[in-house]
Amino acid sequence: MTEQRRLPAFEEAPAEALAALLADPGKDAVLARVDLDLLASYAEGLARELPPGEALPPLSARHAAWDLLDLLRRPALQTRLVASDLPGWTGRVLDLVERSHYTVGPLFRRRTAEYGARPLFEIPFRTGNRTLSWRQAGARVEVLARGLLAMEDGAGPGTVAILTENRIEGALSDLACLTAGLPNVMVPATATEADVGFMLGHCRARTVLVSGGSSCARCRPAGRASPTWPTWWCSIPASPSVPACARWTAWRRTRRTFPQRSWSGGRSPPASATWPR
């Protein structure tokens, strides 16, 4: 389909045309010459269909806004937007982001679907580096997020504190909280016991994710001194030095909400926020 055939289609059915452009490998050639006034009019019309406030608009309108935002970030368009009307386009983009509730969750899921097998993380091992693709990371983040949301019979984990060394488990746990809309606090691995106690008390953490026994040993005394003693202590990955008597029950209940493929070899879910290895 030539460029001249695309633009009339955009005028007649812009949402469908944008979705088709996103899937087109040659979209940059079209975006380099698309009418910016037409795009501006469409962006403003979309914003009018997305009322402000906390209530979620219809999903179809949100998807249309997200498709447009994904196209607006393309270099072929960005240079033109900056040259034509930077303040105006800045306002339109921010308006669409806020009104469509384009948060970390939908953004991460869209990038996962778009990038698929592309590497997201590179993890150093003694035998060489290994990569974790967007699709692999997205699947593990989903398992973690669903497990956290299922805690307390679906009431959720409350504020989550994460104390790990520089490791992939901590990054995925952080993403799980961000994509699920859970408030979380990253506690530095070098924090002293006093610092840990202050952070747990200040954020009123109800769930603490730690990377092993040494991290838990620093957190638990500090947690006891906190005005709100955290209810849940989870190891990522599971550590026998982390008390988990009640956690087993919670994660077994979560097991029923996961598809069978989420756990390898038919193993029972671990008493921790982790993924099967």
What are the pLDDT digits (tens) for 249-262? Answer: 233 333 333 332 23
Of 184, 187, 186, the residue nearest 160 (C-alpha)? 184
- How confident is the model at residue 269, as a pLDDT? 32
- How confident is the model at residue 177, as a pLDDT? 94
Burial status of residue 91 (CB atoms within 10 A of its CB: 0-12, 13-18, 19 or more): middle
State the pLDDT confidence band at 268, using cuts at 50, 70 and 90.
very low
What are the pLDDT digits (tens) for 160-217? Answer: 999 888 888 889 999 999 999 999 999 988 888 888 888 888 888 888 888 766 666 6
What are the pLDDT digits (tens) for 4-17? Answer: 444 445 666 677 77
What are the pLDDT digits (tens) for 228-255? Answer: 666 666 766 544 444 433 333 233 333 3
Of 118, 111, 107, the residue nearest 179 (C-alpha)? 107
CATH-assigned architecture of domain 135-266: 3-Layer(aba) Sandwich (3.40)
What are the pLDDT digits (tens) for 69-109? Answer: 998 998 888 889 988 889 999 999 999 999 999 999 999 99
Report CA-CA distances (Å) from 121 to 16, 44, 129, 135, 165: 33, 37, 10, 11, 16
Alpha-helical segments (H) within the chain: 3-12, 14-22, 27-31, 36-49, 59-72, 75-99, 104-115, 134-149, 168-180, 193-203, 213-225, 245-255
Domain ranges within the chain, ordered by starting residue: 3-102, 135-266
Q: What is the mean pLDDT of residues 122-141?
A: 90
- How confident is the model at residue 230, as a pLDDT? 66
pTM higher than the cut 0.85: no
Looking at residue 57, what DSSP letter applies? P
- How confident is the model at residue 256, as a pLDDT? 33
Residue 31 clears pLDDT 90, i.e. is over it: no
